[in-house]
Structure 1
Amino acid sequence: MPRSSSKRVTLEEVARVAGVSRATASRVVNGVTTVDETIRAAVRRAIEDTGYVPNPAARALVTRRADAVALVLPEESRLLGDPFFGQVVRGVMTVLGPSGVHLVLMTMDANTRDQVLGDLRRGRLDGVVLIHTDRADPLPRLLIEERHPVVVSSRPVVPLPVTYVDVDQPAGGALAARHLASLRRNRIVTIAGPQHTTAGQDRLIGFRDALGDPDLPWVEGDFTRESGAVGMAQLLRAHPGLDAVFAASDLMAQGALAVLRESGRSVPADVAVVGFDDSSAALACDPPLTTVRQPVEDMAAEMARLLLRQVDDPDTPVTASVFPPTLVHRGSA
């Protein structure tokens, strides 16, 4: 059937082309999963052949869904120059795009919490993917109390009955430690991540435990390039004989490498450096960075899948999906 450019195709026309009733066609369009797969395929072909476009307002009345979810990212200043967040968006979109669900990007500021909750209450959003929640942030608890679909990007610092996706952070820290120990480095230090986050805590714990050194010298950074540079300078002043550094993010490692270069230290001959993430920053380093890889795009896609599952079934059990890290060998260690 030729597509009409002047008249909106109706659901009745789709049903006629597919050879089914209007009610059956409507069930397929509205995502009812109990329809026979052969019939669903026929209706989908009819939709493609006729150029039918569902009326969003009418569909929302039937499904009670907005077909939109929010991806809430940290404050805007954290997004600039950090490739992690671009990977998250790409991973989420690999699931949402084919599902026909719109992604609403939001950054955390003073108004975001009220906006998210208001949009969920008014039916403008179906759920939330929340990235890097802070210990003091009440948003996860509020979402749970109001029974809104939500998935967070890491194990909560404060235990909550919430679905989350994470990498095995302690195992990642241990991979870095064992690699540096295998290089016979014995004056090892670390630039840890922020200790108000589980990622910052767990990477430090895994690294320190694998070395069996509770007194391991360390400073706290905030996963940014600038904090890596500051931390490296502090460690060099306190421990000038250091011969290995684990930075708990690639950006912090990049900042540390710049300071080591300025101090006249050769990498890896004088100081071996290992990062964490395996982001594009690792390849931008000089030398290219040996790093612990977390599969960010795969993890983000899993967050989107778990969220859509909650949207479909609000009684879906709380779950934790934890991905294994791997060590990527390059020139810095």
Structure 2
Amino acid sequence: MSPRATIEEVASAAGVSRSTVSRVVNGSTAVSPEALAAVRAAIDELSYVPNRAARSLASRQTHAIALIVPEDTNRFFGDPFFAAIVAGITGKLGGSDYLLNLLIASDDPGDKMTSFVRNGGVDGALIVSHHTSDAFIDRIADAVPVVYGGRPVRRRETDYVVDVDNVAGAENATRRLIDIGRTRIATVSGTPTMVSSIDRMQGFRRALADAGLRPFAEEAGDYSEASGADAMRRILAGGAPDAVFVASDLMARGALTALRSAGLRVPEDVALVGFDDSSVAVSTDPQLTTMRQPMYRQGEAMAGVLLARLAGEDPANTTILPTELVVRASA
């Protein structure tokens, strides 16, 4: 393999100084059109690739963004939600000069992750799936520009958030069950330490109250399939509902397994509605009626807001994306 061309070789081929090449590479406008054309031609001819480390030292920028996920690896790799979010983020970053660093940790013992960010490892951070106990993310937000995917538990006026309307989504999902004539409606909520779970519970209760109904049962999971099955079994121990709103498709698949094990049919005996419209929703039999949240668009929007902040722009502090009911066979 031939050695990589140097900036000095580009300067020699273009007939300009090294500093002129550096200005072109770094996007400076303080270069004449003739010099710009000559440098670009030399870069193409020599297949020159700028040294990112050197550029970082010169600009004090890493051109890297962290995606911070305060979860364990089983949750991250087992939930299609995260794959869609990452796809949206990388899709948006593809047209930029930024690389994505993935940092997964359910906590931050010794502040290893926090120190990496605070010591200049990245220029900014995206944070998703955060809990009330994740105090370390506040220290990260104090060090670099941050955009949250989902409203943080302790939101500050200066925080930037991209979220979906979880209250309205859960309300509409529950209303679907009411509209098809179900009255003994239970819910399997998400992790109680997350704002999305709290909001979806609020939407569930609001829909029932508006219809003059009371919750048949309320049990919490942790957004995993196994927790959905466990929560459904706890509900069934107190009697059978005729409908269940489950706060994620993955938990809904677990709930479906528990219902079948108890000899109950979906939707004949128990109607079931999930949340996400992930690939899980079409993998079940029957396929899940669910509330679609635009996960790819959420990742894309998060990255867009952070890129705008890093460019010195002033994007909106809050971006709320709509949800949409997708009716399939389970309800």
Structure 2 gaps, min length 5: none
1:266 shift after superposition = 1.4
Are residue 30 (structure 1) and residue 26 (structure 2) matched? yes
Are residue 195 (structure 1) and residue 192 (structure 2) matched? yes
Residue aligning to 2:84:
87
Q: Superposed, which structure 2 residues align to 1:237-316 within 5 Å?
A: 237-240=237-240, 242-313=241-312, 316=314
Are residue 324 (structure 1) and residue 322 (structure 2) matched? yes
Residue aligning to 2:115:
118
TM-score by length of 2: 0.87
Residue aligning to 2:47:
51
Q: Answer yes or no: is the 8 Å Cα contact 1:192–1:204 preserved in 2.
A: yes
1:231 shift after superposition = 1.2
**1:208 maps to amino acid:** R
Q: Superposed, which structure 2 residues align to 1:215-226 within 5 Å?
A: 215-216=214-215, 217-226=217-226
**1:104 maps to amino acid:** N
1:258 shift after superposition = 0.6
Residue aligning to 2:178:
181
| % identical equivalent positions | 41
For residues 233 and 93 of structure 1, the distance between their equivalents in structure 2, rounded to whole angstroms, comes to 39
For residues 206 and 54 of structure 1, the distance between their equivalents in structure 2, rounded to whole angstroms, comes to 51
1:103 shift after superposition = 1.6
Structure 1 gaps, min length 5: none
Tell me the secondary structure at the aligned position of residue 281 of structure 1: helix
Are residue 71 (structure 1) and residue 70 (structure 2) matched? no
Q: Answer yes or no: is the 8 Å Cα contact 2:7–2:21 preserved in 1.
A: no
For residues 263 and 37 of structure 1, the distance between their equivalents in structure 2, rounded to whole angstroms, comes to 75
**1:327 maps to amino acid:** L
For residues 324 and 301 of structure 1, the distance between their equivalents in structure 2, rounded to whole angstroms, comes to 15
Q: Superposed, which structure 2 residues align to 1:195-214 within 5 Å?
A: 195-212=192-209
1:306 shift after superposition = 1.6
Cα distance change, pair 260–41 in 1 and its aligned pair in 2 (3 A): farther
Residue aligning to 1:102:
99
**1:226 maps to amino acid:** A
**2:54 maps to amino acid:** A
CA RMSD of aligned residues (A): 2.9
1:7 shift after superposition = 5.6
**2:104 maps to amino acid:** T
Q: Answer yes or no: is the 8 Å Cα contact 2:7–2:18 preserved in 1.
A: no
- Number of equivalences: 326
**2:92 maps to amino acid:** V
Are residue 153 (structure 1) and residue 152 (structure 2) matched? no
1:117 shift after superposition = 2.9
**2:229 maps to amino acid:** A
1:12 shift after superposition = 6.7
Tell me the secondary structure at the aligned position of residue 135 of structure 1: coil
Q: Answer yes or no: is the 8 Å Cα contact 1:9–1:51 preserved in 2.
A: no
For residues 40 and 177 of structure 1, the distance between their equivalents in structure 2, rounded to whole angstroms, comes to 60
For residues 319 and 36 of structure 1, the distance between their equivalents in structure 2, rounded to whole angstroms, comes to 38
Tell me the secondary structure at the aligned position of residue 332 of structure 1: coil
1:274 shift after superposition = 0.5
Q: Answer yes or no: is the 8 Å Cα contact 1:219–1:235 preserved in 2.
A: yes
54-63 vs 198-207, greater mean Cα deviation? 54-63
**1:305 maps to amino acid:** G
Tell me the secondary structure at the aligned position of residue 238 of structure 1: coil
Q: Answer yes or no: is the 8 Å Cα contact 1:15–1:25 preserved in 2.
A: no
Residue aligning to 1:61:
57
Tell me the secondary structure at the aligned position of residue 154 of structure 2: coil
Q: Answer yes or no: is the 8 Å Cα contact 1:14–1:50 preserved in 2.
A: no
Tell me the secondary structure at the aligned position of residue 115 of structure 1: helix
TM-score by length of 1: 0.87
Are residue 131 (structure 1) and residue 112 (structure 2) matched? no
**1:82 maps to amino acid:** D
For residues 171 and 34 of structure 2, the distance between their equivalents in structure 1, rounded to whole angstroms, comes to 51
For residues 262 and 238 of structure 1, the distance between their equivalents in structure 2, rounded to whole angstroms, comes to 16
1:144 shift after superposition = 3.2
Query: 1:246-302 CA deviation, whole Å, 9 max, x = no partner?
Result: 100001100111111112211112211100011111111111111101111110111
